[in-house]
């Protein structure tokens, strides 16, 4: 069982995590929302599981240093494979997932822009960033649909809400400032188009489904 000292230590470790205040709040919310296992079940206490994540992302300054890393950098795997994977777990509710996946798309585009300015945006990095953007965009649309369908409003209202969130996401992507480096502008636009295409495909599937229902 978790004693008071362990709990206090965990909270102090949580405060030291080099994340934004919003991310820390979501992590704390996730900890308290995690079910406590039955004392009759031989399982590792839930705190040990959560604490292992906390220790993982508070190890020295590695996590902080990885925040500004780019594809091809040594610490980029820590940024995407460790820190962002932990935040995937923390932001598991549909509402939080919507915000988080949108943020990841923004991160990948910014990374591409920085790489382009440095002359390091090659085809391999561009392809990897494109796959990541596509994955996050798909997760975004799924979260939007899940959040909309879980409300107590009517089906039409839920659909309007989902469409509004997708429209706002599309607007943010489209309104991003064009790259000042003309030679790389097309590559950055390709990444933006990857996210937009996921939304367009989703809209097309919804419309086809409506057509079938109306037959």
pLDDT digits 0-9 by tens, 138-170: 999 999 989 888 766 566 777 788 888 899 999
- Write down the pLDDT at residue 22: 59
- Write down the pLDDT at residue 64: 61
pLDDT digit string (tens) for 15-64? 454 555 555 555 555 554 555 454 444 444 455 545 545 555 455 455 66
Sign (positive or negative) of CA dihedral 27, 110, 192, 163: positive
Region 181-204 average pLDDT: 84
Q: Which two tokens stand for residue 105?
A: 């798309």
- Are 176 and 116 part of one and the same domain? yes
Contact between 97 and 91 under an 8 Å Cβ cutoff? The reply is yes
Last residue of a domain, one of 40, 64, 92: 92
- Are 38 and 55 part of one and the same domain? yes
Last residue of a domain, one of 51, 71, 92: 92
Q: Which two tokens stand for residue 37?
A: 């296992």
172 compared with 40, residue with greater pLDDT: 172
Give the closest residue to 162 by CA, choosing from 135, 142, 139: 142
- Write down the pLDDT at residue 196: 92
pLDDT digit string (tens) for 69-84? 999 998 898 889 888 8
- Are 110 and 43 part of one and the same domain? no
- Are 214 and 173 part of one and the same domain? yes
Last residue of a domain, one of 92, 117, 152: 92
- Are 97 and 87 part of one and the same domain? no
Rounded-to-integer distance, Cα 37 and Cα 46, Å: 7
- Are 12 and 38 part of one and the same domain? yes
Give the closest residue to 191 by CA, choosing from 106, 114, 70: 106
- Write down the pLDDT at residue 42: 46
30 compared with 105, residue with greater pLDDT: 105
- Are 34 and 129 part of one and the same domain? no
Range of the domain at 29: 1-92
Residue 176 pLDDT greater than 60, yes or no: yes
Q: How many domains does the chain have?
A: 2
Region 181-205 average pLDDT: 84
Rounded-to-integer distance, Cα 139 and Cα 143, Å: 6
- Are 54 and 88 part of one and the same domain? yes
- Are 155 and 84 part of one and the same domain? no
- Are 31 and 41 part of one and the same domain? yes
Verdict on whether the full-model pTM lies above 0.85: no
- Are 116 and 215 part of one and the same domain? yes
- Are 73 and 4 part of one and the same domain? yes
21 compared with 119, residue with greater pLDDT: 119
């Amino acid at each position: 069982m978790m004693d008071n000292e362990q709990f206090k230590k965990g909270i102090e470790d949580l405060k030291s995590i080099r994340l934004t205040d919003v991310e820390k709040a979501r992590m704390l919310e996730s900890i308290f929302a995690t079910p406590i296992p039955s004392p009759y079940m031989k399982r590792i206490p839930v705190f040990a599981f959560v604490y292992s994540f906390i220790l993982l992302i508070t190890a020295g300054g590695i996590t902080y240093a990885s925040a500004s890393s780019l594809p091809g950098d040594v610490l980029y795997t820590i940024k995407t494979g460790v820190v962002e994977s932990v935040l995937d777990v923390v932001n598991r509710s549909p509402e939080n997932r919507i915000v988080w996946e949108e943020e990841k798309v923004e991160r990948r585009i910014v990374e591409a822009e920085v790489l382009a300015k440095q002359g390091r945006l090659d085809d391999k990095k561009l392809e990897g960033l494109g796959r990541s953007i596509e994955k996050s965009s798909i997760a975004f649309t799924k979260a939007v649909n899940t959040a909309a369908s879980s409300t107590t409003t009517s089906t039409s209202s839920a659909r309007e809400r989902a469409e509004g969130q997708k429209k706002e996401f599309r607007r943010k992507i489209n309104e991003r400032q064009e790259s000042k480096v003309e030679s790389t502008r097309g590559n950055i636009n390709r990444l933006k188009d990857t996210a937009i295409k996921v939304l367009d495909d989703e809209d097309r599937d919804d419309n086809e489904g409506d057509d079938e229902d109306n037959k």
